[in-house]
Amino acid sequence: MQIFVETDRLILRELLPSDDKGMFELDSDKEVHQFLGNKPIENIEESRKIIEFVRQQYITNGIGRWAMIEKSTNNFMGWTGLKLVKETLNNHTNYYDLGYRLIKKYWGKGFATESAKASLEYGFTILQLTEIYGSADQNNLASRKVLEKAGLRYIETYDYDGRPTDWFKITRQP
């Protein structure tokens, strides 16, 4: 198991097949998917496929989302981190996207912001990236606040599957 980053409260490590129950708890929750197209998963096999997909990104792209683990309990909290987006979104292709998703009981406690800042630090210092993007449904005020607290700046609003979505960017400081 590879640990990429540790913070005061978090361990950010590779997603493992054994994270399937935590991923199912996360992605089967309708509230978690409120701003993600309202398509929660329906069975644990879907969570296993998601984990396999992310683990393949580690091999293919050298990066993918990480499991977010609470240090004090060793509990799976959700995922966080960077991913290389090869598809075109908002006229961008081959860019690094910052993302995070938490099990509901961990909402509102600063974990997403803590993980986002750690992910950005990793991207700029270890991966030597020059810019990182993020996006959030315009109505997802909590996610927008996380991006802003992590240092990303609003660039524009674009249409994502019929939903206004805000586009953010941060550039590495020299």
Q: What is the pLDDT along the chain (174 residues), one digit of tens a residue?
A: 788 899 999 999 999 999 999 999 999 988 887 777 768 889 999 999 999 999 999 999 999 999 999 999 999 999 999 999 999 888 899 999 999 999 999 999 999 999 999 999 999 999 999 999 999 999 999 999 999 999 999 999 999 888 999 999 999 876
Q: Is the pTM of this model over 0.85?
A: yes
HSE of 85, CA atoms in CB hemisphere, 13 A: 18
Buried b / exposed e over 102-121, threshold 16 CB at 10 Å, is: bbeebeeeebbbbbbbbbbe
Alpha-carbon distance of 114 to 124, in angstroms, equals 16
Residue ranges of domains in the chain, CATH in brackets = 3-132 (3.40.630.30)
Q: Give the 3-state secondary structure of residue 77.
A: strand
Beta strands 10-14; 95-102: pairing state: unpaired
Instruction: Report the alpha-carbon distance of residue 44 to residue 116 in Å, rounded.
Output: 27
